Amino acid sequence: MSQHFFERHRETLERAVEAIHDRGYWSAYPEMPSGKLYGETANDDGKAAFEGYLNTYFEIDQPGTIGKVGKEASPFGTQLGITYPKADVEVLLPAMQAAIPAWRKASPEVRAGVCLEILHRLNKRSYEVAYAVMHTTGQAFMMAFQAGGPHAQDRGLEAVAYAYREMKQTAETGFWEKPQGKQEPLKMNKKFNIMPRGIGLVIGCCTFPTWNGYPGFFASLATGNAVLAKPHAGAILPMAITVQISREVLKEAGFDPNLVTLVANDPGQPMASVLAMRPEIKIIDFTGSTANGDWLEQNARHAQVYTEKAGVNTIVIDSNDDFKGMIRNIAFSLCLYSGQMCTAPQNIYVPRDGIKAGDQHLSFAEVAKAIADGVSKFLSDPARAVEVLGAIQNEGVLKRIEAAHDLGEVLLASQTITHPQFPAATVRTPVIIKLDATDQSIYMHEHFGPIAFVIATDNTEHSMALVSKAVREQGALTASIYSSDEAVLSAMEEAMAEAGVALSCNLTGGVFVNQSAAFSDFHGTGANPAANAALTDGAFVASRFRVVQSRRHA
């Protein structure tokens, strides 16, 4: 049975392995929530499945369950009322360890096959996962479907492809025959065993529980480790569904389902830090705050730690040939999921003497106003606005929005929108503040949420120096520039490569700086403080296992 899954998905895996090299466009899972692609009843079925979870106990048949936890609330205004198993890790972790030997002895093919079958079933249930993501993160439905479903699945598949390729780079056996001149050659048979590290802990965030969680989850599982999912207390359901499907596939493939388990907790219960310090945990994948990520890097020394933390993302405006396209693009980037993306731009640098836009010269004030107006205009229809903004995930974001209005001249004030479908949803539009380059104490750190600063700099060179400083000191996941001058673009490419952040140039169409495409864009670089790893590259998978050999004479 277990080999069957590999055969079933072999072509997908092989195509994924090509894609991670070529880095053109490729996707295994259709991103459109369409009945034609997912089945005409898929939306209704998914919604019903989601609603079926509400106010019930989400059972996972894992050992060491000692009660129920869970207090998720939908940013769209309701309590989910779902509870999950409360885990006794003294029972759960040994059960996970006991499951590893048979899993590590299965081949890379078998493990990849199981992972791809899990992803395949997740894909079939993309609507159900989408509603789960929507009502935990506050993402509007379309984003919840795409980022929480097929895009996350693509990121998971990408990690499996990297893991598979890495494991296959060492032959399973070797024959060593060393000439000895006129004497018989020395001959040895060698075996090279892929040995997992142990249990991988995946610490999730409350904004992209699957998209950020799947790479580490599948990279660890594919390389022979067990995986303990510890979702954010505010976004448990999407990972609970993932764990349930994983256990079902593992069981069908003849493996111990305890290779994948869930530890849920209530808000305010410390759990991630407790789990991270357990000696059984050998790998940690973390998405969250800089403080927590730094703590893990400093303290969880017994484990391989991969972190994605906070950063300050920047747009540099130098000059432009398509001003309207630029404004539309920036406005959308600021509104998308209310700036609650780790890739959302925060600082927008504009020379204080203005810019060249086509044949025109536009003053700093004109550019700043155009950005604010662009956002206003884009959000003028509340029904459309909420489908981009989604809802505010948590109280912390709300407080930052409020506080931001006192940080400088308000170019655009945040507004409350009543969601036509969910009147109790917490919806806020972006606040945009005008600052000067000298206000570094304000803009040189992250203000997570729909908060942007338009910052007057001396010139583009100055803007570039400020981005480099922010990337090096605060970290960043994205940088963007608009310029019609090739020399400026080249200088920015050079500066951002040196600073260690991915750059997008002149985005005026349907690609946004917030978005990174699986199999093509690397998310994070590992080269600046925002993340110590990239999703996904060779370094992200290579240390999740070791090769341990034995040899004997042939």
By the criterion CB under 8 A, which residues form the site for its own copies? Answer: 20-25, 101, 165-166, 169-171, 174-178, 180, 186, 188, 190-193, 195, 197, 297-298, 301, 489, 493, 496-498, 500-511, 517, 520-522, 525-527, 534, 537-539, 542-543, 546-553
* Residue 499: CB minimum distance to its own copies, A: 8
Which residues are within 8 A (CB) of 185 and not within 5 positions of it... i.e. 6 or more apart?
177, 178, 179
Q: How far apart are CA 352 and CA 355, in angstroms?
A: 9
CA dist., res. 108 & res. 329, Å (int): 43
CB of 523 to its own copies, least distance (A): 10
Report the residue number, 57 or 175, with the smaller CB distance to its own copies. Answer: 175
Q: List phi, psi (to 5°) of 72.
A: -70, 145
Closer residue to its own copies (CB): 437 or 539: 539
Shortest Å distance, C-beta 23 to its own copies: 4
Task: State in angstroms the smallest separation of the CB of 103 from its own copies.
Answer: 13
Residue 101 or 254: which CB sits closer to its own copies? 101
- Cβ within 8 Å of residue 107, ≥6 positions away: none
Q: Which is nearer to its own copies, 24 or 52 (CB)?
A: 24
CB of 552 to its own copies, least distance (A): 4
Which of residues 294 and 366 has its CB atom nearest to its own copies in the complex?
294
Query: Could you tell me the smallest distance in angstroms from the CB atom of residue 246 to its own copies?
Result: 24
Task: Report, in Å, the least distance between residue 25 CB and its own copies.
Answer: 5
Neighbours of 408 (CB within 10 A): 18
User: Which CB sits closer to its own copies, 218 or 519?
Assistant: 519
| Tokens matching residue 475 | 């970290």
* Cβ closest to its own copies, residue 81 vs residue 185: 185
Cis ω on the peptide bond leading into residue 536 (within 30° of 0)?
yes
Residue 206 CB, shortest distance to its own copies, in Å, is: 28
In whole angstroms, what is the distance from residue 417 CA to residue 385 CA? 9
How many CB atoms are closer than 10 A to CB 358? 13
Q: Which is nearer to its own copies, 340 or 515 (CB)?
A: 515
Query: Of all helices (H) and strands (E), which one includes residue 86?
Result: strand 84-87
Least gap, CB of 18 to its own copies (angstroms): 10
By beta-carbon proximity to its own copies, the closer residue of 8 and 546 is 546
Nearer to its own copies, 441 or 552 (CB): 552
Q: Are 465 and 492 in contact (CB under 8 A)?
A: no
CA terminus-to-terminus distance, the chain: 33
Q: What is the 3-state secondary structure (H, E, C) of 371-434?
A: HHHHHHHHCCCHHHHHHHHCCCCCHHHHHHHHHHCCCCEEEECCCECCCCCCCCCCCECCEEEE
Shorter beta-carbon distance to its own copies: residue 18 or 44: 18
Closest CB 500 distance from its own copies, rounded Å? 6
Contact status, residue 525 vs residue 512, Cβ threshold 8 Å: no
What is d(CA 211, CA 207) in angstroms, rounded to the nearest whole number? Answer: 9
| Shortest reach from residue 36's CB to its own copies, in Å | 12
Angle at which helix 126-137 crosses helix 42-53, to 10 degrees, equals 50
Residue 36 to residue 34: CA distance in whole angstroms: 5
Tokens of 496: 């951002």
Q: Which amino acid makes up residue 345? A: P
Q: Are 7 and 113 in contact (CB under 8 A)?
A: yes
Q: Which is nearer to its own copies, 100 or 362 (CB)?
A: 100
Least Å distance between CB 328 and its own copies?
14
Cβ 496 to its own copies shortest distance, Å: 7
Q: Of the two residues 233 and 477, which places its CB atom closer to its own copies in the complex?
A: 477
In 126-204, DSSP assigns E strands to 173-180, 183-196, 199-203
Do 448 and 340 touch, CB atoms closer than 8 A? yes
Distance CA(314)–CA(329), nearest Å, equals 14
CB 151 within 8 A of CB 518: yes
Residues 6+ apart with CB under 8 A from 201: 227, 228, 230, 272, 275, 276, 281, 283, 284, 285, 303
Strands 479-482 and 503-505: parallel
